[in-house]
Amino acid sequence: MRAQDEQTRVFYELCSMIIHILRFPPLPIPIPSNYSSVGNSASSSRGPTAPAQQVSPAAFASLFIGISVALMLFGSVAFVIGFIMMPWVIGLVLLFYLVGIVSNLSELGREILYPGSRVAKGCAW
C-alpha cells in the first residue's frame, strides 16, 4: 500500500510539472548590452526577442507521445532485466532451501546419534 501511494505521488508530481511547463513556457533571457564585451553590435544583431508563444496542439501531442514512448521503453527494459534475473533468483531461493534442509537434517542426526551431547552451556544451576 505504501509503494502505491509513493507511485501515485510521483505520478501526480510529474503531471503537475508537465502542465506547468506547458502553461508557462520558459521565457528567453535577454543578455544586457553593458555585460557584453562586444557592446551594442552583438545585441542589435540578434534583434528583438519574441514574446512567449502558446504551445500548439501538435507540440502538446508530441510531448505526450514522447513521454508514453519513454515509459513503454523503460517498462520493456525493466521486464527484460526481470526476465533475465528470475532464474538467478529462483536458483538462490532453492539453494537457501537446500541449505536449510541439510542443516535441519544434520541437527536431527546429531540428536539421534548423540542424545546427551547438547547440554546447556553457561548455566550455573
Q: How far apart are CA 104 and CA 99, in angstroms?
A: 9
Grid cell, residue 28, equals 528567453
DSSP 29: -
Residue 96 is predicted with a pLDDT of: 97
Q: Please report how many Cα atoms fall inside a 13 Å half-sphere around the Cα of residue 53, on the Cβ side.
A: 7
Q: DSSP E strands: which ranges in the chain?
A: none
Residue-wise pLDDT tens digits, 18-55: 787 777 766 666 666 665 555 444 444 555 555 556 77
**Domains of the chain: which residue ranges?**
2-38+54-113
Kindly give, in sequence order, each residue whose CB lies less than 8 Å from that of residue 33, ignoring residues fewer than 6 positions away: 39, 40, 42, 43
Among the listed residues 78, 14, 24, 30, the one whose alpha carbon sits nearest the alpha carbon of residue 52: 24
Grid cell, residue 69, equals 514512448
Q: Which pTM was predicted? A: 0.39
pLDDT band at residue 103, thresholds of 50, 70 and 90?
Answer: very high
Q: Which residue has the higher pLDDT, 86 or 117?
A: 86
